[in-house]
Structure 1
Amino acid sequence: MTDDIQTLFASACYRVTLPSGFADLRIDAPCPDTLACWLARHAGSTPAWLITAHNPRAQLLDASVNRARATVLEHYATTRHLVALECVNQDPADAWPDEPGLLIAGLEEGMARALGRRFAQLAIVEVRIAQSVRLLWL
């Protein structure tokens, strides 16, 4: 993994769509209060996990392929009755395309890592109430 990829992931804005607006997550920054209430209701003491299906192994794919992969991730969450919010990973320098994904509540870390690996992701993002947002390399 290159330093450029590590910097890209660490500097990204992870924007979560809430019923009443947005919450912007940053790696190593506290979980925003606007998201903490939702987490308390849906994740409890377990973290929520930001996972995308786009651009596996940080390799750019065609938009139609990414959409199809995202549909599979959404289907996975829906069929397992997982509570999730839509999100998008954004590069503040606009050097990398936006990557839609899901913030999924209540998964244990092993399950979240397995899901990230299933979609060939290099990392997933852990979100907990009253803690810093963490990037976990897979």
Structure 2
Amino acid sequence: MTLPTRVILAVDDDEAVRRVAAENLRRLGFTVIEARDGEEAMRVLTDPSSPIDLLFTDVRMPGPLSGPALAELAVRQQPGLKILLTSGNLRDVTAGADDGRFPVLSKPYRRAQLAAAIEAALAATLPAHP
């Protein structure tokens, strides 16, 4: 019996960074949908034909939806959705990208670090929002 592939929505406004992340995720065996910003990600997340297991998003993105804001909207809409934020800004990483509710993977990362962070995020239960 073959287990279904997990689907990850990878969101980053930097196309090169997003493509590298998506390729690494595919090499780890995940199905990946890419989005360039929070608005595009929300369109994917609200499409019932695109079930997403994990949202992997950059913390800092232009527009009205930063990574943490996108994550908050996403988990309100899909309470079981798993979240992993990523950032190249040390302050975001050490602060847990605002309130520490979502895990943050520091950029740059190696594929093994990405795999471990994704595995932990998929296994985690998000704390309730205060």
So what's the TM-score if we normalise by structure 1? 0.29
So what's the TM-score if we normalise by structure 2? 0.30
> Higher RCO, 1 or 2 (CA under 8 Å, sep at least 6)?
1
